[in-house]
Amino acid sequence: MRTIVTTNSVARTERFDHWTSEMSKVFAGLDTRPASRIPFHGRAASGDIGLLQLSSVSAGPLRVRRTERLVAQYEEDFYKVVLQVAGTSAIEQDGVCSALGPGDIAICDTSRPYSFTYTTDFSTVLMLMPRPMLPVRPEALRGLTARRIAADGGVGAVVAPFLKSLGEQARDCTGPAVRSLMDGTVSLVTSLVTEQLALSAPAAPQDAMMLRIRAYIEQRLSDPDLTPDSIAAAHGISRRYLFKLFAADDSTVAGWIRTRRLERCARDLSSAATADQPISMVAARWGLLDCRHFSRVFKTAYGETPRDFRRRVLAGGDRN
C-alpha cells in the first residue's frame, strides 16, 4: 500500500487545508499550522513495512503538535523515529528541545505531547514503530526522546542512510522479504537506542546490563535452547542475579521470552505472506516446538487459538 499526498494541482489558497485534511488520514491526532505566509507546498508518500509505517515528507514551513487533548482523544502506542533529510527542524517533548539538521535522527513517544517546527522548506523520513517492538522499557527511553542523535559516527552512521534508502524504496518492498526487512529495521533501531542509552550518563550498571540482555534475547528468539542458564552464562552473571534484574521490572526471564516469541508468532500469523505455512512451522520458527503448549499459551495471551486468530485477522484484509 502506498499513499501519496501532494499539493501540486491544488489552488494556492487551498493548499494548506488540503494538506492537513489528507495528512490527517496518515497521521491522526495532530495539530498542524503554517509557519510562513508564503504559499504552502508539500508532498508525502506513506506505506507500510510490515507493522512499521514509513513516510517521506517534503514541504514548506509548518508546525506540527500533539497536545495533551489530542493525546487523550487519539490513543497511540508508537515511537516516532525521525530522520532529517534536508532543511532544519526543532523537536520538543517533555521540556527537551533539540535542533535537527540534515542527517540527524530523533525519537519521540506519541503517547505523550510533542511538537516539530520547520521554519524553512524541509524533507524528512518518519517511521512509526509500535512501542512493544522495541525491547527497551519506556521509562529508560524517556531520557532519550527529543534529543538529537548525530549520524557522523557509531550506529547512527548506519541507521541514517538506511532510513533514507528505506524511505525511497519502501513501495518496491513486498512479499516475504517484508518480514525480514521489518525485523532488520527494528534491530537497527534497537542497536541505536542501546548505544545512545549506554552513552548517556549517568547510566545505572543494571540498566545497561538489561539492555544487553534484552538485545541478546531478541537476537535468539528462534533458538529453542534459549534458557536463563545460557543467558546468564553469556553475560557472565549468575542465574540469581539475572532473575533479580527482571524482577526489578516486575517481570521474569521466561515470561519475557515467551511474550516476545508470541508477539513474533502473532505477527507471522497475521501475514498473508505466511498464510500457507502450518501453524506448527510458525511456532517452531520462534523456538516453540511443543504445539500443544504453544496453542495453550497463545490462547491465554490473545484470547483465542492460533488458528482462530489467523482466520479472523486474515479475513479482515491482506497484510504484509
Q: In order of start, what are the domains of the chain with their CATH numbers?
A: 2-174 (2.60.120.10), 205-315 (1.10.10.60)
Burial of 136 (0-12, 13-18, 19+ CB in 10 A): buried
Query: According to the model, what pLDDT value does residue 320 have?
Result: 46
The DSSP bridge partners found for residue 42 are 59
pLDDT in the model for residue 82: 96
The residue behind cell 548505544 is 195
> In the chain, which residues have pLDDT < 50?
1, 318-320
CA 180 to chain centre: 15
Contact between 162 and 52 (Cβ < 8 Å)? no
Task: Please give the grid coordinates belonging to residue 290.
Answer: 511443543
- pTM, entire model: 0.72
Report the share of the chain in percent with pLDDT over 90. 61
